[in-house]
Amino acid sequence: MAETRQARAGIPISVKLILATSIVIAAAVGTATWFSQTSISDLTEKQVAARRESGEKSIVRESELLVQAVANTVVIPLSANMFGDVPKSLEDALALDKKGENRVQWLLVHDPRSGTVVGATAGAPAKVDELDRILKDGIKSTANKVVHAKVAGSDWVYASPIELGGTTHGNLYMGVSTAGLEKELTSSLEESKARAQATRNRVWLVGLLVLAIGVVLAALQGVRLAGPIKVLTRQAERIAAGDLSHRV
């Protein structure tokens, strides 16, 4: 009879309690951890996209200011027909950039009145026709008259009118490479992604720790409750068998 009851009993009640509680805890911890991971990933992607957009706008803005600054350095000799001073001004501007950001590749000043190139640094195109074709579909600044367009890869061309007193005395073309800035931006974004990944790893570790603690507590609670439940089970079996001498 005892063997029949033992066989019918199957898995001990303490084990059932531990398993049931552990499953509930695991589901709760897993769900919370998954939502945390998803939130971190979504937030990181949005931050990376925002930083990339901000960085690209900053590159354009700085390049626009640079081409305007160079245009201001050559407007006086150009307006006074001192064409011989223009190449020297361009070389000085290029040398100054090399000491700083080092993004300007070449400079070129074109006089639309005579249709000639007044001054140019090494590496500048011999003619402006190709530049004008590229800039025809370029991006026009909303804050000034600067136009820029991509040539290839990280190479861009910027153009600005050289004006004084409302009169246009020429056009300045500037070749710009954003490779250095894009490299810095990419490095910064990769660091942000790495920090986000480290945060996700910590979330997983905390989740696993909470799960382990929960399982241990569930085991202790299951063992503690198993005794009284076994007593009640035996009493129920006796009553079912017609033995009413051990009722609670």
Q: CATH number, domain at 126?
A: 3.30.450.20
pLDDT bin (cut points 50, 70, 90) of residue 161 is very high
8 Å CB contact between 47 and 192: yes
Same domain, 153 and 201: no
The token pair that represents 122 in the structure block: 């090494």
Among residues 178, 199, 230, the one where a domain terminates is 178
Cβ neighbours of residue 39 closer than 8 Å, sequence gap 6 or more:
none
Same domain, 94 and 159: yes
Domain range for 227: 2-44+186-240
Q: Which has more confidence, 115 or 45?
A: 115
Assess whether pLDDT exceeds 60 at residue 177.
Answer: yes
Residue-level pLDDT at 246: 54
Mean pLDDT of 121-139: 89
Residue-level pLDDT at 2: 47
* Number of domains, the chain: 2
pLDDT bin (cut points 50, 70, 90) of residue 157 is very high
Mean pLDDT of 208-225: 74
Tell me, yes or no, whether 245 lies in a domain.
no
Assess whether pLDDT exceeds 70 at residue 91.
Answer: yes
Same domain, 10 and 64: no
Same domain, 99 and 195: no
Residue-level pLDDT at 173: 95
Closest C-alpha to 200, from 29, 34, 25, 26? 34
Q: Find the angle CA(161)-CA(167)-CA(169) to the nearest 5 degrees.
A: 55
Assess whether pLDDT exceeds 70 at residue 196.
Answer: yes
Mean pLDDT of 54-80: 86
pLDDT bin (cut points 50, 70, 90) of residue 6 is very low
The pair phi, psi for residue 199, each rounded to 5°, is -65, -40
Mean pLDDT of 226-236: 68
Mean pLDDT of 16-29: 73
Residue ranges with strand state E in the chain: 104-111, 116-120, 139-140, 147-152, 155-164, 167-177
Instruction: For residue 93, give Cα distances in angstroms to 1, 75, 89, 97, 110.
Output: 103, 13, 6, 6, 16
Assess whether pLDDT exceeds 80 at residue 149.
Answer: yes
Assess whether pLDDT exceeds 70 at residue 222.
Answer: no
pLDDT bin (cut points 50, 70, 90) of residue 233 is low
Residue-level pLDDT at 162: 93
Same domain, 173 and 194: no
Tell me, yes or no, whether 49 lies in a domain.
no
